[in-house]
Structure 1
């Protein structure tokens, strides 16, 4: 009986692994047969051993082989999930969390820079340091600035003021003056090595581009609706979100594949279950009318209830 119990336990573990209704039903019926012999000492245990040899052992061997193959496939998926999780954890530990705060501070710094530029132009002097505003793209462009159609960001020759090596469109400077040079950094673009920054003038619908590479600032209007002007997101964050979604997908498909059996195995299981439910076969196994009637009653239990 102890050997029979070990077989039933193995079958239960396999049923729990596959979560297949037919395997679960087979386990329940096999456990009923085991309990019938356990509770009726007058029954011949050799009949139970014969039953296991003819049915249970072959089924356990088949399902164990399939389980090993699935575990091997699952291990590869689990390893991929683990690698993805390690990347996510490592990045989140070193992620730059200051971008949003710095973006707001940069808007104020750039506003003051423009006010100083205007003052220098009116007084015909050159005192400002461009590094006061160039620090931002150097720190964040690679990770946060997005790609775009560069033609939408460029501008042809425009009437401009020249300050050191930089140019600022005359119309832009006039509109900045009206709003006291208050601007908000909207987002940045990175095309190859060329960096562009989009600003919005306070209390207006006016936007302008700071072309870092060409050292120019100019208004942008019609092209704006064709650009993505949402707040910049870390490209590493995008990758992390993709990895998390991929892991969710891998875990879902892994569980689905674990439960999926080849069609021929499904067919064998259904035949196996029908044999267990076939009272003629059970009669030959037990050879006792009284016990067979008991077993018939037990096997006819409504398992759905």
Structure 2
């Protein structure tokens, strides 16, 4: 600029640096430090999320999908024995044989986002087996299909837990209301009920954390490039002043040299 514009006195180049270059470097240095702090905060958050993900994955229960298949067979045998006991008027079955499953998996796997009214039932004719009520119609249909059932999924709403089963080779579903100790046919609109396989709550958390990390990583380049509006305006003013040769020639009048850049740009570096 000094070489190409004879209107500028190159002997005052040092003064130019003092008034313009030094102030700009100070501003850019502060911007750089702020960006580094921002990047460090993002990197730390990503690292913390990764530690949580690693911890969740180590604790994740992988046996659920295998156990749910075994549970279907165990529940089928339990129902078959109940029917035999009822016909013989004896009570030898142990409900703990099937209650183990929800105790082991409900908190982590059973679904909570559900309309509970879809899972409840009014009064119905029932057989009584110890503390448990079994709908008569349900027991009849189970008998027709050899008591073969498949566990579909579990639900937990507050302190209430439900399990949904499907009778083998039929369109019939039934509910095991664990807290009420009742088994009854499902007679609501199945399309309104989420009957997909249960997924680990930890899996959902892991998925959310991975998505968050991906967003943070994608935002890093934008965070590096983005400047506050007021800083952009300062830099634009700075550029306009440098491009205005008439102003530049006047700047080097020593009587007008008191902190010109700060005055022109109204820049308080100590507070930015």
Match of 1:96 among 51, 56, 61: 61
- Is structure 2 residue 163 aligned with structure 1 residue 201? no
Q: Deviations over 1:36-89 (max 9, x none)?
A: xxxxxxxxxx99978866765443322110111122233333322222221111
Q: Which has the higher mean CA deviation after the structures are superposed, 87-96 or 116-125? A: 116-125
Equivalent residue of 2:161, what SS?
A: strand
Would you tell me which structure has more helix in proportion to its own residues?
1
Extract unaligned runs of 5+ from structure 2.
Answer: 4-10, 248-272
Distance in structure 2 (CA, Å) of the matches to 1:112 and 1:269: 78
CA-based RMSD of the aligned residues comes to 2.9
Cα pair 2:118 2:188 within 8 Å, conserved: no
Cα pair 2:149 2:167 within 8 Å, conserved: yes
Extract unaligned runs of 5+ from structure 1.
Answer: 1-32, 34-45, 282-305
Match of 2:129?
Answer: 163
Distance in structure 1 (CA, Å) of the matches to 2:35 and 2:66: 49
Match of 1:243 among 198, 205, 209: 209
Distance in structure 1 (CA, Å) of the matches to 2:215 and 2:33: 22
The normalised TM-score by structure 1 is: 0.70
- Is structure 2 residue 76 aligned with structure 1 residue 111? yes
* Structure 2 counterparts to residues 1-305 of structure 1, below 5 A: 57-147=22-112, 148-269=114-235
How many positions carry a matched residue from both structures? 241
Q: Deviations over 1:181-218 (max 9, x none)?
A: 11111111111211100001111111000011111100
Q: Deviations over 1:147-202 (max 9, x none)?
A: 22222211111111111111111111111111111111111111121110000111
Task: Give the C-alpha shift of residue 90 in structure 1.
Answer: 0.8
